Structure 1
């Protein structure tokens, strides 16, 4: 960092003093003569060229001035240089706070406290890495910060001990010859400390005023920063303790509402809970849940068993074809909605079997006979999505016969409709959607993914469909 001329140094101080006064520079320039105007503009240019400030001009007046990092540090650099202190070596010094992401709020409170005591924010490094990621290599940025750290602070918690990153950092704390402070959350005591930082080390508590004072004093001393007056120290310490107590209170409420995935005994239960949370519903019609499973092509799910388990576990009740969760259960679930949806989505994927993917695999491997291919041609041409069975079968066969006649195709499909429908039922390409008054299935609906494939994205099928239609073309003698 290069030294400024005296005029530019004075201007930098003036900019900092009036940084929030929008009309200050317009008034100042209006009172300058030509020589003063030229000198002042030269000083602005020097500050900009030396990256002390950024500035924008309008009508020859600076209107948007931002003091950059070197501008804020300039006076400190000059003071240290006069005392033969290496500025850059000093500026690399930092306080390293190791913590789990799940405890980032505590790290934030601690950082705010240290900044309020006079420690520059860019001299505090919080690792803030994902608390439970299973990774074992400390990134280069963290290595560099650990190397330049003059004080290491670890915020110990259950989350901390579950993090491979945090355990690696604690190993470095133990190994290097750098002062460190251990702050424990309520669940960590000398009895259950793990790893390198064991019970032989003192634990500090952010609820304890003496511990908070110790942390502040140690941080200031290691950074060679003067202690603020006792009023400021007492005020900021009291603020930290109050905010930390509030954090613990909210944390306890969060723990009370925490969901244990073992509470959900079966995948069937998880899937019905997924549906309710997805739609933010406490009460749902059981038939709607089943229709959703059909639409989403989720198979082998026993919804009746799931709702029975929910009722017998006193988590909800079944009445008039509806499943309704108890209000306390629903509140607990909805507070964890994003987490549960993410966890249960993998269960949904496990039971999802898209008909279109199964169909294409069979089609591309030539596992379908010509009669089935004609059935697909009929569906594509006539845009059919419903297939009648039992007494409704006759109407479907009439529709097929009409299509065969229109396309001059031998009546092979109309004579084999039942076997084609049976194949689609067996492969789960269709699902029951219409019943007789006695509860017997009388009609089936094509699964959504096949509707999309046959009616909207069938280009890859057309050559083979046209081929089979030509092969069964009925060449009439007239």
Structure 2
């Protein structure tokens, strides 16, 4: 069973340090998948999407290196959703600046009630390494392990400071040119819309062909966006439906989207079922559905959407903004 480090490329420094720790305590480099390092990443000539998909299908032990940057990356969230569905086992490791009460973490694919640990916690690192013994050849030399942990903690102690400085600098640059970009973008879009011929979707998916031809209800499109944005390929139904709707309301508030999905969630879900895009994945003791799983075919498509599909989804989302008169009924916890 290989170890797959799911991470944001912006946290490659933490990932490299983690790889050095794992190899330092005896785990073979051949058992580690870390795409930000050529020695542990994608072989030359391989398609990145197909290669990652095959690695995930082999049911690895996934180390989710969670950070604010991770949850801002659509690629990371898609990777999380795919790995979560078919993984063997996983552990959550948090960067020092990660907030456990963040909306994205509390409502993502991974159960936030599971125990993870901050990457700079010495005691938790010792426990984590000890847990690896069940599946991997970890050295019994405790002196060596303690030495490698000290080296690891020393190597990452300044990462958070560097990241914070980079974020502040980047934010300052963005604020200086934001107004000018907005004006230019509006004028450019007007010109492009008048001159460019409409793009056509040439894929085989009936669902996305219907999307491009305007045959889908808005709630179906918004549900698709919700699935992509939260990396949730399993959705509550039946007696658990209200819990999902509660999550959707929070998501709508955070993203400035109106209540079309939260008020028509049941209808959207039924449409997904009728189109065989979702099937029952869990039932109550009485045999009633309580959870639906998005079909594997649609999951694969959502992990690698063509730009034209993304643009169409975003267009429909923009046409469903939250209005001032809508009052949030969400109990934020």
TM-score, normalised to structure 1, is 0.33
Structure number, greater radius of gyration: 1
TM-score, normalised to structure 2, is 0.47
